[in-house]
Structure formats: C-alpha cells, structure tokens
Amino acid sequence: MTFLINRRVWLGSALAAGASRAYPDMPSGTLVIAQPNEPQSLTNAFSTEGAIYTVSSKLFDGLLTFDDDLRPRPRLAVRWGFSADGLALTLHLRPGVQWHDGRPFGSADVAWSVLEVWKKYNGRGRSTFANVAAVDTPDALTAVLRLSRPAPYLLAALSSIESQVIPRHLYADAGNPLANPRNAAPVDTGPFRFARRQRGSFIELERNTRYWDAPRPKLDRIVLRSVPDAAATGAALETGEVHLGTTTLANIARLKANPSLAVTAIDEAYSASLTALEFNLDRPVFQDVRVRRAFAHAIDRQFILRSIYYGFGRVAESPIPPALAAFATDDVPKYPYDPKRAEALLDEAGLKRGRDGLRLTVRNDPTPGAESLQTAQYLRAALARIGVRLEVRTQDFPEFIQRIYTRRDWDTAIIGGTSGPDPAIGTQRWYWSKNFQPGVAFSNGTHYANPAVDAALEAAQTELDPAKRRAHYVRFQQLAQADLPRIPLVAGARVVVSQRRLRDFLDSAEGLYGNFANAWLA
C-alpha cells in the first residue's frame, strides 16, 4: 500500500478543509520547520547544498516563480522576453522593491549576481549561465542578458532556488564573496528577514513588514529547528512541536494514520531528484570502466527502492530521471543485478580475490541522511559478496561537503540532488568536464571528462528545436551510462509531513523551496 497524497490532490483537499475560514487578515503566528541538516551559509547564490534551500528561499525572492505546469510567473521581474535570434533576454524588474536594509533593488544587482556570482561560484550556475557573455543595464529596472549562443532553458533557471540575486552594494567591494559575513546574516528581498541564529539549535526569520507583496506574508515568523535525527522529527510532528518536516520513510505509514497530519509527495519535474553512487575518478582503480560496471552489476536497485525508499520513487537507470519525460530515455546501457557478471568484470580488471577473499578495499561517504546511510550499509553487504570491502564513513553536512568537493579525500560517495527543472540546469553539472571546480559543492566531483559528452551537453544547451534538443540529451545519456562515472540508483519522491492546520505552503512548483508568503496557520 502506498501512503501518499499527490501534491495537486493535497492542494485541493487543503483548500477545501480551509473553506470555512478565509485567509487571515493579520499574521497567523510562528511556523516551526524541522531542519535535518544545518546549512553552512544562508544564501544559495554560491552553493547548491540542499540544506540552504528551505531557509534562503524564504529570505530571497527569485526573478520568477513557476506554476505546476512549469510556466513562469512574475516575482522580482514583471515582464520578460527573448529576442528573435535567442541571443538576448530582457528582464523588466518590479519597481519599489527594497533590500531589507532599505536600499533599492535594481538591475545593477542582477547584472553583478549573474556575472560575478552565478557564473563563477554556483555548481549549477557555472553551466546554466555559461552562455551569458554580458548584462546590459539601460536603466535601474531593466537588465538585458546578452548571450554568446541561445540558451532555451534560461527562464527555468530564474527562480530563487536556482539563481538568487544578492545585493551588489554589500558584496562588490567587500573582497572574496565566499567569505562575506552577509552569507551568514543575509540582507535580502523576500517575505521574511533574517532575525537570529543559534548554531546547532535554530534559525529564526521574522516577517518583512516592507515586503512588496503586502499584506503577505501571512506568518509572523518562521523558526527552523535543527533536528538531525529523522525519527525525532516524526515524534515532534506527532506532538505538535513542529509543523512541517521530512522524516524517515519507515515512519510514513504511522504518521499517515494520525488525523492531525498530512503526508504529501513532491514529485514534480521542477524538483525531480536522483540519487547516485559516485566514483572519484582520480583514484587509479576507478579509472578502469570494468570496475565501475562491476559495482553496477553488484547493486540490486529494486531492493533499494523497495526496502529503503519504501516504494516512494522509481529505479533510476539513466542520468536524467523519468520525471523529466521530455528528455529521459530508457535506451541506455543497462546493468542488471548480476553478481556473477560483476565478479567476472573484476577478474578481467586484474582484481583477483586474495587468500582472505578480498579484491579491494574502498571507502564510501554517504550524504548525511537516513536513506543515504541505509543505502551505504546495503552497498557494504552487496559489494562484500563480490570481494569488495566497503568502509562507510559518516560525518556532518559541512564536513561532507569539505571532504568531497574541497579536500577530495574520498573514494566513493552516495550523492542525491535535483535534476530539474531542465537537464542543462540540474543534470549537466554532474557530467560536464568544465564544471570540475574543487571547492564548488555539488559540481562535477567525480572529475569526469569525455569530449563527446561535453559536445552533446553543449549542443543541447543551445538547440532551440525541441526534437533535436532531446536527441542530444539521449546521446548524452547513452555515452554517460557507458562510461558510468556515477551509477544512478533511485529517482525518489520527496515526502513531507505537515500539521493539517498549516495551509497553503505548497503554492508553486518550488514546493518546500517556495517563499511561503501565502502560508498560514489555522
């Protein structure tokens, strides 16, 4: 049995449940959200670490937002359009928007963020905005992105969670932007302002009384409580200590039976996720594709989906998850569960069993989180059957990011991330050789490089014809699955649990990463 409410169904039932009470005229209290991993900073302009998004999306509005059909809707930009040749995108900005310090928001902020932040420091932005050659600012409320080649996906990248505009006046002349103290105490444009933070305990946001979209927001404040233990999140939801959170999937059936709680799956293309086993290709043993393919044949993905993800998702056999139906293909090299084939490949690679039965010892670093850790523990058992000892290491989220992307002190890792809303935005970053950038989180950490893959990705980035663009992505998937720098495991649905008295928090395709300006407590 699947204990799941589709997000569209949830929206309808929630609105029906609240039909007897209109939106509150006054702010409706404090929303408490359980935060499993503590973010290093509070702006995702520089980073794509998932822990940031829930917080920063409430602080910074995007240039655009998106409805359930991924159609762009106005936010900080009120009008937009491409030139006939696809080489210019003009954004007309909303007048009267202020940064939280009272300074006006404008085109200079957009230009600086595009050229000096997103293109240089963001793991997704480095590829997303690669074709942006310049940004013109003919006036304070107009920004024109000049492209060296067309970028048909670019509008999809202009939400807050993808491309966060930050205040030029606080960054441009302040040295290294990665070390700017405003990353920890942001000045922003969204419905909520940063109030205070106690590391390891909570982050508190307060209502922005000068928000451009008055009378929103509907809440007085948001408190994000640090609850690293997913089981504890489930208990806190049951007692009412928190209003919203994610918990272990093993708890979902019990929580679904609680009449005060709602269980919602967020499974739309905008936030389509994929979890993969990555190889550090700087390690000589993993430079032999037979070893990588052997690992793939040793893994029973159906077991992972059934026993660890409790059926919430689908088996992944390609770099682009099935939710991105316009681009995903099943026509790729497959690696069915076959331990005997795995052993034969290791033999061919010269990794024979020793007297102790071992062929190889490697380490694995799972992304902090219950399902990732359980997957690592399963892989340890599965790989032991083919003579590979997998030593699983755990650490907190900041240490995980440092280990994988800065120090590169790792052999294999289990890494999940969003692949949407377009492959050029969410998928390319893992495979594009030009996105190998030590220090940039959730970039090409494997150090994978294949000129044919780069060519397919770059052609798809600029192709305006949908059929031809799909063909480029099919080619990319086929090449990548033959090389296998990362083994796709599961395309999971994100399952959230909320108090039923929390209303209208899922009002856009960004899901939990929306700005919550419409959210209220009954």
pLDDT in tens, 359-379: 999 999 999 988 999 999 999
**Cis amide bond preceding 421, omega within 30:** yes
In tens, the pLDDT along 76-111 reads: 999 999 999 999 999 999 999 999 999 999 999 999
Max CA distance (Å), the chain: 75
* CA–CA–CA angle 485, 490, 491 (5° rounding): 105
Nearest to 415 by CA among 7, 158, 183, 123: 123
Distance CA 202, CA 38 (A): 9
| Confidence grade of residue 27 (pLDDT, cut at 50, 70, 90) | low
Q: Is 199 left (phi over 0), alpha (psi -120 to 50) or beta?
A: beta
Distance CA 353, CA 171 (A): 56
Distance CA 349, CA 331 (A): 27
Domains and CATH numbers, the chain: 7-59+190-267 (3.40.190.10), 64-171 (3.90.76.10), 270-492 (3.10.105.10)
Please tell me the pTM assigned to this model.
0.76
For residues 349-362, average pLDDT: 97
Residue with tokens 């939280």: 100
Q: Is 360 left (phi over 0), alpha (psi -120 to 50) or beta?
A: beta
Contacting residues for 408 by C-beta, under 8 A, at least 6 apart: 280, 282, 438, 445
Least confident of 42-56, 85-99, 439-453: 42-56
- The answer, yes or no, to whether residue 46 has pLDDT greater than 80, is yes
